[in-house]
Structure 1
């Protein structure tokens, strides 16, 4: 099968719901996209914009220089349910402890913070759906970086996120990582 310019060949997919193992295999065959799994349904996302990636890099570097050396990473897979049918790819994750280097899908109990950078085309997902899933999974902290580069920080409270602080990205990066995030 020949590909048109800009098109990606789709691998043969199973007839039933996809699993996280299926998504891992798809991602290995296509390094240009990011893939998430919601109730066994594949969600395909394009690479982030230049600024999106810069913000990820700034946050990563900030965490690295503030003592989170082996506990922060770009766009790792996170299991968002106890089954094999749900996994998201936050833009950045901070873990509670170092993670084995061959880990593909993080167990939710090691995720201390999930960060989403809102981009055109993912606004509703980043603002509404992912926070609901992360809260239901028990991720204690969630940050959202808006297009105006404001950073909204949330903490899990009774099964839902409660906003605890808001600042500009520049203001956040000029200080130390907040206690408890």
Structure 2
């Protein structure tokens, strides 16, 4: 099978910021751009997709309520860490400065926290690659949600060490999240 049969040409060529910004939301859905190249974000199975979406939405709602007026929490939009080569990641949940709601693209300096919900096919990216990229771009907090076989999510939290531009381990929560940083938030994920 040739590459033309598997992926359209626009997915095999380096993409610049101006070109990406001209694409429709439909073209941008389900992809990220890393070093200028389109990377398809794996879609979980239909049942895992519902759980994934629900976890992200519940976390975003809880974070949005707890964050106060200076921060918003939303799901599924780009965070652009660099223009050349273009790198856009699409975290599952983003907590960002409320005053930047109308600014596009969202930049790491606007972001306080990103959350990734790990799904089959995203394990290495969410556990290793994105952790490094988010830390190097200066995002202060990273949370990773693992969907355990028991059905009870496990939440790993990380805090940026600004001197090393690397995350250090924070707290781990099973089922119920009761975090003190970046602001107090509590949510029961064990009922999902």
Question: Alignment RMSD, CA only?
Answer: 2.7
Alignment match, 1:22: 19
Residue 63 of structure 2 corresponds to residue 63 of structure 1: yes
Are positions 1:40 and 2:36 aligned together? yes
Instruction: After TM superposition, give the deviation of residue 141 of structure 1 in Å.
Output: 0.5
- Tell me the equivalent position of 1:116: 116
Offset at residue 35 of structure 1 (A) = 1.5
Cα deviation per residue 1:79-103 (whole Å; 9 max; x = unaligned)? 1235351110011100133323362
Gaps of 5+ in 2: 184-192
In the superposition, the TM-score normalised over structure 1's length comes to: 0.80
Residues 96 and 9 (structure 1), Cα distance of their counterparts in 2 relative to 1, 3 Å cut:
same
Which one has a larger percent strand, Structure 1 or Structure 2?
Answer: 2
SS at match of 1:50: helix
2:13 aligned with 1:13: no
Residues 140/151 of structure 1: CA separation in 2 closer, same or farther (3 Å cut): same
TM-score of the pair, normalised by structure 2: 0.76
1:162 partnered with 2:168: yes
The runs of 5 or more residues in structure 1 that have no matched partner are 1-6
Decide whether the 8 Å contact of 2:17 with 2:83 is kept in 1. no
